[in-house]
Chain A
Amino acid sequence: MIQVRGLTKKFEDFTALNQISCTIPHGCVYGMVGSNGAGKSTFLRLVAGVYRPDAGQVEMDGEPVFENPAVKAQIAYVPDDLFFLGGASMDRMARLYEAAYPDFNRNRYQYLTENFGLDPRKPVHNFSKGMKRQAAIVLALSAHPRYLFFDETFDGLDPVMRNLVKALICEDVLERQATAIITSHSLRELEDLCDQLALLHQGGLVLESDVQRLKTSLFKVQVAFRQDYNETLFAGIELLHYSKRGSVANLIVRGQQEETVAKISALQPVLLDVLPLTLEEVFTYQMEALGYYFDPSGYGFVEGKEGKHEEKLV
């Protein structure tokens, strides 16, 4: 189990993470999303023992991580920026991993290398971006870790490889009760993989929930009334988003679905529809509430002015 309490990390004047607390049980795939600079990579570096926290604690099964070889030996960390020795092949890197990780398994390494179709004798620097990432994943998984930390791991992987990596992660989690933390901009990637999701924003953990509950906590309501109305009509309901076209209004609501429906029904609408949200929509509206919107062109969450955002929605 990973326990994070009051974790804070600063870079000179900039606070990258501020008082983060969370608990990640064994056998859990923990997804972490957030805007650029939200602190996802910093969080992973802290739980991997790369950074020393300025405040707070990271513990794994009650043991601190930083400067603790016994705990770090159970961690495989695949960062966003990969490292390979200059001119090294995968075999050379495997020797380095063997020297560092006591549980590194040669057979698994060979099995995975073959599965991914990588040439272990070819210099890694000649690999494509995706192949480099595959190589890093193969090396990390060969160390038989109990904790798997992947930072933007699916970037650069083709769909086949994404599925293969996901399968391998699930295999480790199911068979060995491993714990995985995966950060990504792509909510779709995490939706079918993670048990829990967390949303980081400006160094703070704004949301942490299991995926199922998250999907039901936010929902969309389409409503229309005979009389003219505006947003004030829905006082008492937590609205994350409100837009109106003609007499029909779209509401994004946080809360209990039955309770919300009952409240709106009491207002005697002529139209009342409750629609489910995709995980991506859930996060989009959560981020929107924080002043961000999701750019579907692939930039993920980007900072935007509220006015502009409304225009876009309208």
Chain B
Amino acid sequence: MKKSWFDPRLYREGLRQLRVIGVLSLVLMTLAAVLAPVGQAIQIAADQEIAAAAGRNISIENLTLLGSHPLLLLGFPVLAPAMSLYLFHFLDRREACDFYHALPQTRGCLYRSFAAALLTWLVGVLLASTLVNMGVCALLGRYLALVYSSVPVLLFNLTAASVLVAAGTVLAMSLTGTVFTNIVSALLILFVPRIFMQAVSSFLGSAMPYVSESHLFPLLDYSWNLVSGLPLSYLLGTYRDVVYGWHGGLYTLALGAVYLVLGGLFFRRRKSEAAGQAALSRGLQLAFRLAAALTICLIPMGMIFEALVTGGGLSRLGGSWFFSLLVAYLIAAIVYFLYELISTRKLRNLARAVPGLGILAVLNLVLVLGMFGVYRYTSAQQPAAEEISYVTLPSEGNVWVSYGSGSGGQEVEDYFGARLEEVRLDSPETRQLISQRLSQTIAYYREDSGQSIREMLEGSQAWSRLVRIQAGHKTLYRYVYLTEADRQLLARELQNKAEAAAVYQDLPAEDLRETWIHSSDRLTDAAAGRVYQSLRQEAAAMDFMDWYSLVEGGNPDLENTVVGYLTLITYWQNRGLGTDLPISTQMPETFRIYMEEQKEAQRQDVAALAESLEKGSGMLTSLYAAGYEDGHFAFYGNRDFIFDPYTEEEETLEAEPVQTEQEAVDQEASTDMPDEPAERKASREAGEALAQLLAARWEAPVTGETDFLNLELTYFDDGEYYNLDFYVAVGREDIPPALQEILMLLEA
């Protein structure tokens, strides 16, 4: 019998041993993979039915794999540790450990064969349930659409996270010999390094608010490690950044592979007699003790670091600071000894553990001084303009886009922000500006001059913006304060960059696989798609600055031409991006199509309104009018009619009590009390005028060249309120005088 690297028979034995837990997991995960989309489809079908009855449209739901199969998230926190602890539990029992070590295979072969069986079950369960989920989503295509591009990245990332947890657990089991120490050391292995990185990053970040914590040391960012990053990102609301990036999955998988290799090394070196012992050796036991205590020491270390950064001497700190420090270190020492006591259950070991406190103290000192060194070095990084090669503007976070009259929406990364990340701004003006603003921002935080940042920058407004500064071989991510003038300078340079222009003017085509268009009002998705086709063409042909201003704002004259929005949702480089695209009179064809679609969508509702007003059965309860002249918002007027529509006009009159003189005086003094008969009268007059207007102008096409009116109203008929929002080709002079009077039109 030769020494073999891997034994298929032992591998099959490993699979057999995991069969119960594996099949159970598979059944549960597959059930979840079926039930989650079915449940959502039932909900969407119900919503669609309700919407259809109300004459509205609800688009199908776009779901990422995480949306359609949320239980996939259970892979790494539940399945991976459970399977690992189950399969390798023999390492904790002396007789079992002896049995496996007596088998005619090398320990390395046993480890590899069993680890392979473990990973096979894990990946198999995740993959099989995902495939089932994809199949179910395909069958339910009428109600929901699975974003297929999200499948590989999510499956890969969650599998990588599961591999890391399994590897970390197996490594911990190779190092320790009881279930308690297995679990504690697995948690230490999986989380303590990341907790340290996060704490160090946070200490440095709070000492230097101008530094982007996530970029200070690339691997310090929590998004790299999915196992610790996912829980944290859920708390911070940034899980999309973590779960949709390949980088996190790749790093996590690589770390998992390293842990697996380490686990193998320790498994081979592990003595059979270590089963039932807290750790393989005293050295390892010390390492685990130190790791547990050092985690608590992060609190006093942070206090000391903060004191060093703020300076001012010990006298400034006060007695309570020292007391808190003492208490924190006392807790750390208790944790240090408690770990020893619980894991070894021998009181005499406490005395042996005392010298390790010296190592703990040295580690504290090294870490605090290390952080202070990084602080000094980083804050001194203030490149001059000539040292800066270029500057880019990284995407700063997520936006919420809503669609379907507010009934739907999702949080996505800003489309333009994400696409502009790599555009390099390298003009001398920009480099000079960023260099100067960085120095001023650092000075603002470091020197307590008493001036506000606006005073320092001599601007009426100032806001912080993340910039990436490339200075030679160094890349700095810094938050610098910019004024409005600074922002305009950056926008002007962006305008001159072809790649930036392409981002704005070469919008992605709607393909209903990775790019979808929704309407923010009552248009169906199909209608919104037709409008978008035209918008793409006109955006491409439009003057860049005009389109840029329409999209980004900042030009009130152009903002006044916007009448509505389309919502663009797209997946680009596995990032969910989205933005609201304006419908403006500056895009004549798009505007025309948009108005036609609007008219078509509201034809029945407006006809019902006209009929209701003509017959007198309906009563307006509120009316808002916005008038557009030469394609610009020009005037507006609004009126709420305050009366109780549930009572008849006659009843109101009959119920009118006879007022005393005093009561009449009181009513006159009260501005809140409307004169209900007068309100009803105004409502009737406005309704009649509106009915007249609709009869005359409803069919007239609304174009960017004609004057038009946007009417938002609520009316009451047959015991129900109805809301409408539509456009009519009516100029100011065509509005019936009665309506003009009631609305009390004002210039915009």
Residues on A close to B: CB < 8 A? 11, 45, 48-52, 67-73, 75, 77, 79, 81-83, 85, 95-96, 98-102
- Asked if B692 is at the interface of the complex by the 8 Å CB criterion, the answer is no
Contact B104 A72 (CB under 8 A): yes
Q: Does B4 contact A (CB under 8 A)?
A: yes
B16 touches A95 (CB 8 A): yes
Determine if B2 and A11 form an interchain contact, defined as CB atoms under 8 angstroms apart: no
For the A-B complex with A68-B3, A100-B104 known, give 19 more contacts whose Cβ atoms are closer than 8 Å.
Answer: A49-B101, A50-B98, A51-B271, A51-B272, A52-B271, A69-B1, A69-B4, A70-B3, A72-B103, A75-B104, A79-B99, A81-B98, A83-B93, A83-B96, A83-B99, A85-B17, A99-B13, A100-B13, A100-B105
**A70 partner residues in chain B, CB cutoff 8 A:** 1-3, 104
A79 touches which of B98, B104, B273 (Cβ 8 Å):
B98
B 89-131 to A, binary, CB cutoff 8 A, 1 in contact else 0: 0100111101101111111010000000000000000000000
Q: Which residue of B lies closest to A100 (CB)?
A: B103
Residues 261-315 of B at the A interface (beta carbon under 8 Å): 271-273
The answer for the CA separation of A48 and B93 in the assembled complex, in Å, is 18
Q: Which of B215-246 contact A (CB under 8 A)?
A: none
CA distance A31 to B103 in the complex (A): 23
Assembled-state Cα–Cα distance A220/B98 (Å): 43
Chain A residue at minimum C-beta to C-beta distance from B20: A87
Pairwise interchain contact A102-B102, C-beta atoms closer than 8 A: no
**How far does the Cβ of B22 sit from chain A's closest Cβ, in whole Å?**
15
* Contact of B2 (CB < 8 Å), options: A52, A69, A95: A69
Residue in A closest to B86 when the chains form the complex, CB atoms:
A86
The distance in angstroms between the C-alpha atoms of A181 and B102, with both chains bound, is: 15
Minimum-distance CB pairs A-B, first 10 = A73-B104, A81-B95, A72-B104, A83-B99, A99-B9, A99-B13, A83-B95, A70-B1, A100-B103, A69-B104
Q: Using Cβ atoms and an 8 Å threshold, which residues of chain A touch B101? A: 49-50
- The distance in angstroms between the C-alpha atoms of A112 and B182, with both chains bound, is 39
Chosen A-B contacts, 18 in total, with CB atoms closer than 8 Å, are A11-B273, A49-B101, A50-B101, A50-B102, A51-B272, A68-B3, A69-B3, A69-B4, A69-B109, A70-B104, A75-B102, A79-B99, A83-B90, A83-B99, A99-B9, A99-B10, A100-B13, A100-B105
Chain B residues with CB under 8 Å of A11's CB are 273
CA–CA, A95 and B14, complex, Å: 12
Which residues of A are found within 8 Å of B9, using beta-carbon distances?
98-100
Indicate whether B513 reaches chain A with its CB closer than 8 angstroms. no
Task: List the interface of chain B (C-beta within 8 A of A).
Answer: 1-4, 9-10, 12-13, 16-17, 90, 93-96, 98-99, 101-107, 109, 271-273
Complex Cα–Cα for A48 and B94 (A): 15
In the assembly, what is the distance between CA of A67 and CA of B269, in Å?
Answer: 11
Assess whether A72 is in contact with B102, with CB atoms less than 8 Å apart.
yes
Contact call B102/A67, Cβ cutoff below 8 A: no
Q: CB-nearest residue of chain A relative to B93?
A: A83
In the complex, which of the residues A67, A75, A82 contacts B95, with contact meaning CB atoms closer than 8 Å?
Answer: A82
- Rounded to whole angstroms, the CA-CA distance of A81 and B273 in the bound complex is 13
Asked if B104 contacts A67 (CB within 8 A), the reply is no
Contact present for B13 and A96 (CB under 8 Å): yes
Neighbouring A residues of B90 by C-beta, 8 Å: 83
Q: How far is the CA of A73 from the CA of B4 in the complex (A)?
A: 13
Docked CA distance A69–B106 (Å): 6
Q: Cα distance A79–B271 when bound, in Å?
A: 17
B99 contacts across to A, CB distance below 8 A = 79, 83
Tell which of A49, A52, A73, A99 has the most Cβ of chain B within 10 Å: A99
Which residues on B sit within 8 Å (CB–CB) of A99? 9-10, 12-13
Min C-beta distance of B21 to chain A, whole Å: 11
The complex places the Cα of A52 from the Cα of B107 at a distance, in Å, of: 12
How far, in whole Å, are A31 and B47 apart by their CA atoms in the complex? Answer: 82
Q: How far is the CB of A61 from chain B (nearest CB, A)?
A: 14
Q: Which one of A45, A67, A102 lies within 8 Å of B1 (CB-CB)?
A: A102
B271/A100 in contact, CB under 8 A: no
Interchain CA distance A183-B345 in the complex, whole Å: 32
For B1, B90, B93, B271, the residue with the greatest tally of chain A CB atoms inside 10 Å of its CB is B1
By beta carbon, the residue of chain B nearest A97 is: B103
Cα-based distance from A99 to B100 in the complex (angstroms):
12
Query: Contacts A45-B98, A83-B99 given: A67-B272 contact, CB under 8 Å?
Result: no
Is B98 in contact with A73, judged by CB distance below 8 angstroms?
Answer: no
Nearest-neighbor residue (CB-CB) of B96 within chain A: A83
Residue of B nearest to A145 (CB): B104
- Would you give the shortest CB distance from A234 to chain B, in whole angstroms? 46
Of the listed residues A82, A98, A100, the one surrounded by the most CB atoms of chain B closer than 10 A to its CB is: A100
Q: How far is the CA of A99 from the CA of B8 in the complex (A)?
A: 9
Question: Are B16 and A73 touching (Cβ within 8 A)?
Answer: no
Chain A nearest Cβ from B4, distance in angstroms = 7
Q: Tell which of B10, B98, B107 has the most Cβ of chain A within 10 Å.
A: B98
B119 to chain A, nearest CB (A): 19
Q: Give the complex CA separation of A83 and B99 in angstroms.
A: 7
Q: How far is the CB of A302 from chain B (nearest CB, A)?
A: 24
Chain B residues near A82: list those with CB within 8 A.
Answer: 95
A261 to B105, CA, bound (A): 57
Measured CA separation A52–B272 after assembly (Å) = 9
- Assembled-state Cα–Cα distance A4/B524 (Å): 86
Residues in B neighbouring A71, C-beta threshold 8 A:
104
Residues of the A chain whose Cβ atoms lie less than 8 Å from the Cβ of B107? 67
Set of chain B residues within 8 Å of A67, measured between Cβ atoms: 3, 106-107
Please tell me if the beta carbons of B95 and A79 are within 8 angstroms of each other in the complex: yes
| Contact of A69 with B105 in the complex, beta carbons under 8 Å | yes
A49 touches B94 (CB 8 A): no
Q: Which residues of A contact B98 (CB under 8 A)?
A: 45, 50, 79, 81, 83
> Which chain A residues lie closer than 8 Å to B104 at the CB level?
69-73, 75, 100-102
Closest approach, in angstroms, between the C-beta of A203 and any C-beta of chain B? 15
A98 to B272, CA, bound (A): 23
Nearest chain A residue, comparing its CB with the CB of B110:
A100
Cα-based distance from A49 to B1 in the complex (angstroms) = 15
Nearest-neighbor residue (CB-CB) of A41 within chain B = B98
In the assembled complex, the Cα of A299 lies from the Cα of B237 at a distance in Å of 67
Beta-carbon nearest neighbor of B11 in chain A:
A99
What residues of B have a CB within 8 angstroms of the CB of A96 in the complex? Answer: 13
- Shortest Cβ distance from B12 into A: residue: A99
Smallest CB separation, B82 vs chain A (Å): 14
A50 surroundings in chain B (CB, below 8 A): 98, 101-102, 272
Q: Which residues of A contact B2 (CB under 8 A)?
A: 69-70
Question: Which of B94, B106, B107, B273 has most chain A Cβ within 10 Å?
Answer: B273
A290 to B461, CA, bound (A): 95
Given A45-B272, A83-B98, residue A100 in contact with residue B1 (CB < 8 A): no
Q: Once the chains are docked, how many angstroms separate the CA of A98 from the CA of B4?
A: 17
Cα distance A83–B598 in the bound complex, in angstroms = 77
Residue of B nearest to A68 (CB): B3
Closest to B103 in A: A100
Contacts of B17 in A (CB 8 A): 85
Would you give the shortest CB distance from B260 to chain A, in whole angstroms?
20
Q: Smallest Cβ distance from A139 to chain B, in angstroms?
A: 11
- Nearest to A96 among chain B residues (CB) is B13
Alpha-carbon distance between A295 and B567 when the two chains are bound, in angstroms: 91
- Which residue from chain B places its CB closest to the CB of A136 in the assembled complex? B99
Chain A residues closer than 8 Å to B105, beta-carbon distance: 69, 72, 100
Tell whether, in the assembled complex, residue A51 and residue B4 are in contact, meaning their CB atoms are under 8 Å apart.
no
Q: How far is the CA of A95 from the CA of B13 in the complex (A)?
A: 8
B103 — which chain A residues lie within 8 A by C-beta? 72, 100-101
Measured CB to CB, the closest approach of chain B to A200, in angstroms, equals 18
Q: How far is the CA of A100 from the CA of B16 in the complex (A)?
A: 14
**Which residues from A are CB-within-8-Å of B12?**
99
Which residues of B have CB within 8 Å of A83? 90, 93, 95-96, 98-99
Of the candidates B9, B90, B271, the one having the most CB atoms from chain A within 10 angstroms of its own CB is B9
Instruction: Give the distance in Å from the alpha carbon of A75 to the alpha carbon of B102 in the complex.
Output: 8
Q: A98 — which chain B residues lie within 8 A by C-beta?
A: 9
* Pick from A69, A72, A81: contact of B94, CB under 8 Å: A81
Which residue of the partner chain B has the closest CB to A82?
B95
Contacts of A68 in B (CB 8 A): 3
Which residues of B are found within 8 Å of A95, using beta-carbon distances?
13, 16
What is the CB-to-nearest-CB distance from B602 to chain A, in angstroms, rounded to a whole number?
69
